[in-house]
């Protein structure tokens, strides 16, 4: 059963103690009931510090071991609040906002937590898009680049796929790619879209030669129409993405980290019809206890101009 807080006050009531947070993670992690990783025993007792001890073999296990919360020195209470801030608001939250909400001393901590949580926004083994799917690429860049015109060197190419759902949009996928070559675009299509689906693309050669798909080529050159008229869904998604990057994050995103934001945008977009924001929180926490921890040093590559060495995560 999907068990999640419906609103802010319910969230605060439910997760008022470390124990309540730990119990929630344990229920998500061992949805079928606890089984000892060493002897498969199902009977445990809990120490005062919240460790689980197997009655069969004495094995000690922490509910956070092997999850994105592993080795954290901060209370789970704070992690839960960060996850709630990220999921309960329609546009998400910036690292600066989360630092303020949680009263964290360090910007890097807030930044790293959000990135860890964003990693958990991709559900392992999620289904690919299917049916009629529009695919196109777009450049995403930082705002100051406008002064000198379109300098591609500072822009990042992102490929976007959007399912048709009648006149509307179904689910989406997106990814940063080095260029528009077949070598870059084909893997994205194969990993994001079910074979036998129909791809709606422009006549760009990077999409040629994809086996197992039907392809409908929209000729922009002689159609008298723009790309956004011919592939309205993908272009609608792109404009929402750009607005969100500029709005919530003020465009202050380095290219190395753009993938995390694309994952967050996709997570939220694909759940935009969800009646309860709490459901997004639930899905995020469910993924978070299934994911391996990412070392800090993997993420801070490119966290420029900020002190990296000192951190207390
Ligand atoms: Zn055991």
Q: What is the pLDDT of residues 218-267, one digit of tens each?
A: 887 777 787 788 899 999 999 999 999 888 777 667 777 899 999 999 99
Q: How far apart are CA 14 and CA 17, in angstroms?
A: 8
Confidence of residue 298 (pLDDT cuts 50, 70, 90): low
Using alpha carbons, select from 27, 256, 276, 233 the residue that is nearest to residue 134.
Answer: 233
Whether the predicted pLDDT of 307 surpasses 50: no
pTM of this structure: 0.86
Using alpha carbons, select from 241, 255, 252, 238 the residue that is nearest to residue 154.
Answer: 255
Distance 26 CA to ligand 1 centre (A): 16
Distance 115 CA to ligand 1 centre (A): 34
| Alpha helix ranges (H) inside 120-173 | none
Distance 50 CA to ligand 1 centre (A): 17
Distance 40 CA to ligand 1 centre (A): 6
Kindly tell me the sign of the dihedral angle through the C-alpha atoms of 288, 293, 295, 301: negative
Mean pLDDT of 193-199: 97
Distance 39 CA to ligand 1 centre (A): 4
Distance 63 CA to ligand 1 centre (A): 15
Confidence of residue 125 (pLDDT cuts 50, 70, 90): confident
Whether the predicted pLDDT of 23 surpasses 90: yes
Whether the predicted pLDDT of 305 surpasses 50: no
Confidence of residue 306 (pLDDT cuts 50, 70, 90): very low
Distance 51 CA to ligand 1 centre (A): 13
pLDDT number for residue 299: 59
166: left (phi over 0), alpha (psi -120 to 50) or beta: left
Checking DSSP bridges between strand 198-202 and strand 132-141, what pairing results, if any? parallel
Q: What percent of the chain has pLDDT over 70?
A: 88
Mean pLDDT of 36-44: 91
Whether the predicted pLDDT of 177 surpasses 90: yes
DSSP per residue, 237-276: HHHHHHHHHHHTTTT---GGGHHHHHHHHHHHHTTTT-S-
Distance 52 CA to ligand 1 centre (A): 10
pLDDT number for residue 230: 85
Distance 61 CA to ligand 1 centre (A): 10
Mean pLDDT of 11-27: 95
pLDDT number for residue 66: 87
């Amino acid at each position: 059963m999907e068990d999640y807080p419906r609103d802010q006050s319910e969230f605060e009531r439910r997760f008022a103690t470390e124990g309540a947070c730990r119990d929630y993670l344990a229920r998500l992690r061992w949805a079928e009931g606890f089984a000892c990783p060493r002897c498969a025993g199902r009977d445990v007792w809990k120490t005062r510090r919240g460790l689980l001890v197997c009655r069969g073999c004495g094995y000690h296990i922490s509910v956070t071991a092997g999850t994105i919360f592993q080795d954290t020195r901060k209370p789970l209470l704070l992690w839960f609040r960060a996850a709630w801030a990220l999921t309960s608001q329609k546009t998400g939250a910036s690292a600066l906002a989360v630092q303020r909400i949680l009263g964290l001393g360090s910007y890097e901590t807030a930044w790293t937590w959000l990135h860890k949580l964003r990693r958990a926004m991709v559900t392992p083994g999620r289904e690919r898009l299917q049916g009629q799917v529009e695919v196109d690429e777009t450049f995403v860049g930082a705002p100051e680049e406008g002064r000198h015109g379109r300098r591609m060197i500072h822009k990042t190419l992102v490929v976007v796929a959007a399912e048709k759902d009648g006149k509307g949009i179904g689910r989406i996928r997106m990814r940063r790619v080095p260029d528009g070559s077949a070598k870059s675009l084909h893997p994205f299509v194969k990993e994001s879209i079910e074979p036998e689906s129909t791809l709606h693309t422009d006549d760009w050669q990077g999409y040629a030669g994809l086996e197992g798909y039907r392809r409908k080529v929209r000729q922009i050159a002689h159609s008298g129409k723009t790309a956004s008229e011919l592939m309205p869904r993908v272009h609608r998604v792109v404009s929402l993405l750009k607005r969100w990057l500029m709005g919530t994050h003020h465009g202050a995103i380095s290219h190395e980290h753009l993938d995390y934001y694309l994952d967050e945008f996709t997570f939220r977009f694909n759940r935009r019809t969800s009646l309860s924001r709490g459901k997004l929180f639930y899905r995020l926490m469910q993924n978070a206890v299934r994911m391996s921890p990412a070392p800090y040093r993997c993420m801070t590559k490119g966290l420029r101009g900020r002190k990296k060495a000192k951190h207390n995560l």
